[in-house]
Structure 1
Amino acid sequence: MSDWVIVCPLPASLHARDFAVGFLKEAREPVLPPLLERLVEPPAQDTSRDAPFSDTDMEINIPLPKRQLPLTPPKHRELAWLLTELGDDLRVLQTSLKHCYHLLRPDTSSDPNCSHKGNTLVVSTPRTEAVKGHITRIGTRIARGTIHLKLRTLPAQTLSIDPGHPITIAPLDDLDVLLTRSIDLLDITLTHAYPDEPNAASTPPRVEAFLAAQLRVLAQALSDATALLRGPPLLSDTDPLWTSRSSALSHFHPPLPPTLSFYLGLQESQLVLWLRTLEPADQPVNLGMKFALALGTARRIEHDEAEQVFTYCCEDGCAKGLHTPAPDADPKTTPPDESPARVFVREKLRVESADPNLLSLSAKLNALSHSLLQTRRNLAAVMGEDLEE
């Protein structure tokens, strides 16, 4: 119910016939209580001060106001104030997003030695010598690195990333696109909603609806960016993208063995390396291995993907060396089959590498998402709309 105030005379001036009624907010005309609708005063012909005053001698009517005072609706004032404050909030948000982008891809254009910059991360398995080495991340790519492997199903070897053919981390590449588009979206929003020289052509007719739509798109972009850094849940160490986004053999010098899958992803804002040794699913098991498995002298390595068959190829769409050649095929005249192959996973390792910049980026994106959500709630409340989260 709307608030209203009645301004009435003091008891000493009951002979006054009119008084003013003012309303604090726009509302329908209130119904006055019966006590205020009928007031009485002494009869006009009786001027004696000693005459007793009776409540029923005479009654007068108090005229109600014909129109209410012209006051601005409070929500209009709140909306005007909020839109003014929102301009500064969006500029701060744009600056924060640029800082987040620099955490992902530092600006080294003014540095002549920018090729030597980057984050060097340790890649090592705890308490074992299975994986030991380091990699260097520059932006969304692994530019160089050396990793020593001592796997149970492969001979000991050293992997060296070719600096001329860096490895692109697909989730970071998607994150780069989201941050770039978010910054551009804020730039467009500020240009149209808060121009330096406002005019009818540049300012939207309903700027609050325009801002609500733009902020909704921005909130979705920040949510997607946070999801990319979070990666798959920790309850499942399996990232299904490894079957089609593992690094191509040409990223390494010398080239990577065809039976080794090298996949870099993100999980809980950390770089995670998955190493898998593969075996063609249609490859026959030799007689010696059958006897060893039957006698128990040899055992298959147990993991969550041991008995599954995967359709595998590298990021370039090739699966070299993972097809069993036909018995009657001539290797000199028959080109090797490089199509996706059906494989078993013989051995699987997972190695985490904490990146301080990515951890800081995740924390900043979470804080910006919470701040943006509060701004959207305030705008929706003043506009009288329900927020779609």
Structure 2
Amino acid sequence: MSTLVWPPIAIESVQREEEDSIALELEWLLTSLQETLRSLKAGLEDCAELLAPKEPGSTLVLSSLRSENLKGFITRVGTRIVKGDVQLRLPSLPPPKGAMSYKLSISTLPTAPTIALPQLTTTRTLINACLDVVDATRWTGDASNADFISGQLRLLHENIQEAKSALKGWTQDQKAWYEEPVDAKAFNPPLPSNVSFHLSVSEAAVLLNVRTLGPANAETGTNTPLSFTGGTAPPAGQSYSGFSLRERLATALGGQRQVFHDEAHEVFMYNGQEVRVRDKVRVESQDPSLMSTMAKLGALERSVALSRRALGVVMGRSDEEET
């Protein structure tokens, strides 16, 4: 059988019919994208609700694996940590007399500084920006303008990707533990100056790193050990240098204290002083609200990506032009 059309159709007529067909398909797609935008807004509102500062918040259990180095809990309300108790058993942080462990308590006083999770603040800001983009696309722009809708979808896609990355952790804007120390007065009693308490978000879980610090150069040339300045006094029975009596005796007899963490041989600038990390304990606690938020953002990201790809095909754009 022959597939030729007789009489043959003029090339100009074929092109005109193709253009009319593409225009109709583009019109249909732009109309259907309005429903997609409504669904996206509902999903983004769910994410915003999961991160909203609602009482009583999320209480997360903290427990170090296969050791008693760290036990406790923290309570998160929105982007802030409002309550928490942590019990530490670290060689370089001897407990007060009569106690089995060293206790860190987050202050609940109204005047105490706030412990916030900047990654959650970033995520909330980006989700709110996404909601603004959706509203602007639906109500203030030209819904029949393919270039406008394409640009708005691209902006929406980028914001969702950044929000998801903030929950995954370790983005370019995230500061290291020694660059932005927590305020000592956020604890009651205040955090010792030789202890670093650092909270972050990693893979939608709250990650706590507690480090005990010592001077980078413990030899001062005098009989007085190098001490931290600008912080609170160490607890009774604890050396200003961060070394316990047992460890100083062992060092004097030629022994060397073993270290078992990845930062043992690095020097950091912390609160204006060069320090080394003596002990380090890392605890990760899964947060159901953050896990749900990241899963929803992943689904929204895929939905927007599909919409962008479909619109790009109808508009005759390549994948490179859409990225």
* The one of 18, 22, 32 aligned to 1:75: 22
Percent identity at matched positions? 38
Structure 1, 284-293 or 83-92: larger mean CA deviation: 284-293
The answer as to 2:314 corresponding to 1:379 is no
* The one of 93, 99, 117 aligned to 1:154: 93
Higher helix residue share: 2
The answer as to 2:14 corresponding to 1:27 is yes
Q: Could you say if the C-alpha distance between residues 209 and 72 of structure 1 is closer, same or farther in structure 2, counting changes exceeding 3 Å?
A: closer
TM-score by length of 1: 0.67
Per-residue deviation, 1:296? 5.6
User: Match of 2:122?
Assistant: 174
1:273 touches 1:351 (CA, 8 Å); kept in 2? yes
User: Match of 1:358?
Assistant: 290
Q: Could you say if the C-alpha distance between residues 73 and 304 of structure 1 is closer, same or farther in structure 2, counting changes exceeding 3 Å?
A: same
Per-residue deviation, 1:178? 0.9
Per-residue deviation, 1:378? 0.3
Secondary structure of 2:265's match?
A: coil
The answer as to 2:147 corresponding to 1:209 is yes
The answer as to 2:262 corresponding to 1:304 is yes
Per-residue deviation, 1:307? 1.2
Per-residue deviation, 1:127? 2.3
Per-residue deviation, 1:283? 3.4
Per-residue deviation, 1:27? 2.9
Higher RCO (CA < 8 A, seq sep 6+)? 2
Per-residue deviation, 1:269? 1.0
1:5 touches 1:24 (CA, 8 Å); kept in 2? no
Q: Summarize deviations over 1:295-324 as a string: whole Å, max 9, x none.
A: 564414232111111111xxxxxx3xxxxx
Larger Rg: 1
User: Match of 1:247?
Assistant: 182
Take 2:155 and 2:116, find their aligned partners in 1: how far apart are those partners? 27
Take 2:12 and 2:81, find their aligned partners in 1: how far apart are those partners? 63
Per-residue deviation, 1:343? 0.9
Secondary structure of 2:14's match?
A: coil
Q: Summarize deviations over 1:108-166 as a string: whole Å, max 9, x none.
A: 4xxxxx4xx10010011122211111111000010111111111110232111112333
Q: Summarize deviations over 1:50-94 as a string: whole Å, max 9, x none.
A: xxxxxxxxxxxxxxxxxxx97862111110000010001001101
User: Match of 1:37?
Assistant: none
User: Match of 1:142?
Assistant: 81
Secondary structure of 1:245's match?
A: coil
Per-residue deviation, 1:181? 0.9
Q: How does 1:106-121 map to 2 (within 5 A)?
A: 108=54, 114=55, 117-121=56-60
Aligned Cα RMSD in Å? Answer: 2.6
Q: Could you say if the C-alpha distance between residues 274 and 4 of structure 1 is closer, same or farther in structure 2, counting changes exceeding 3 Å?
A: farther
Q: Which amino acid aligns with 1:6?
A: W
Take 1:214 and 1:296, find their aligned partners in 2: how far apart are those partners? 67
1:5 touches 1:23 (CA, 8 Å); kept in 2? no
Q: Could you say if the C-alpha distance between residues 301 and 134 of structure 1 is closer, same or farther in structure 2, counting changes exceeding 3 Å?
A: same
The answer as to 2:9 corresponding to 1:6 is no
User: Match of 1:229?
Assistant: 167
Q: Could you say if the C-alpha distance between residues 224 and 72 of structure 1 is closer, same or farther in structure 2, counting changes exceeding 3 Å?
A: closer
Take 2:104 and 2:264, find their aligned partners in 1: how far apart are those partners? 25
Take 1:93 and 1:215, find their aligned partners in 2: how far apart are those partners? 11
User: Match of 2:201?
Assistant: 266
Take 1:130 and 1:71, find their aligned partners in 2: how far apart are those partners? 71
TM-score by length of 2: 0.80
1:4 touches 1:24 (CA, 8 Å); kept in 2? no
Per-residue deviation, 1:192? 2.2
The number of residue pairs the alignment matches comes to 285
